[in-house]
Amino acid sequence: MASILNVDQINNAAGTSAVTIDASTGKPSFPNGATLPAGSVIQVVQGTYSSNVTISTGTYTFTGLTATITPQFATSKILVQIEQQGCKAFNANTGDINLRLQRNSSDIYKFALGYFYGISSEFRSGISGCYLDSPATTSATVYRTMFAANDGGSCVMQNDNANTVSTITLMEIAQ
C-alpha cells in the first residue's frame, strides 16, 4: 500500500521552519540562506529529438536537439550529458562530423562526432559527451547542439531510417 504525505512546510526539531514547499511548483525553498550540500542534484531536464536533419556543408547547422533549464541558484553548475546520433556519407572514404554544444547560441564546447575511414560509403555513429558548465544565472538557459560535415559528403542527424533518437540531459548541481 502506498502512502502520501501532503505538506506545505517541514519544521526542524526546534519547531522553526526548515523547508517550505511551493504549492504551484512543488519546489523547496530554504530559510536563512540554507542550501543543499555541494554536489546535490537540484533538478533534471531532458530533451529528445528524432527527426532527421541533413546537410552537405561545413557550415554549422542546428541538429534539432535542445533543452532549457532555469537554474534556481546563480552559483549552480549545469552538467550537460549528450547522446547524439549521426550518419555520414562520403565522397571519398574518409570524413568526419563536427559537433558543438551551445549555451544561448554561444559555443561553449566543441568535439567531433566521429572520424570515419574505410571502404563503406556510409557510417552511422553516436557519441556520448559530458560538459560541466557554469552559466552564473537564474534565467532560462538554452542548450543545443550544432553540426557540420567535414571532408565532403553529407551528414544526417537522427537518421529516421534507423529510428534513432538523440538526447540531451541537463542537471543543476548545487555548489
Is a pLDDT exceeding 70 seen at residue 168?
yes
Q: Which domains does the chain have, with CATH numbers?
A: 1-34 (no CATH), 36-173 (2.60.120.1340)
Q: Which amino acid is at 95?
A: G
pLDDT (tens digit per residue) in 93-135 = 556 778 899 999 999 998 765 555 555 555 566 778 899 999 9
Give the DSSP letter string of 82-102: EEEEEEEE-SSSEEEEEEEEE
Measure the CA–CA gap between 142 and 118, rounded to whole angstroms. Answer: 37
Beta-sheet strand order (sheet of 17-21): 9-11, 17-21, 28-29
- Compute the residue count for the chain: 175
* pTM recorded for the entire structure: 0.78
pLDDT (tens digit per residue) in 40-65 = 999 999 999 999 888 887 889 999 99
Measure the CA–CA gap between 64 and 112, rounded to whole angstroms. Answer: 17
Residue 164 grid cell: 534513432
Residue 137 grid cell: 544565472
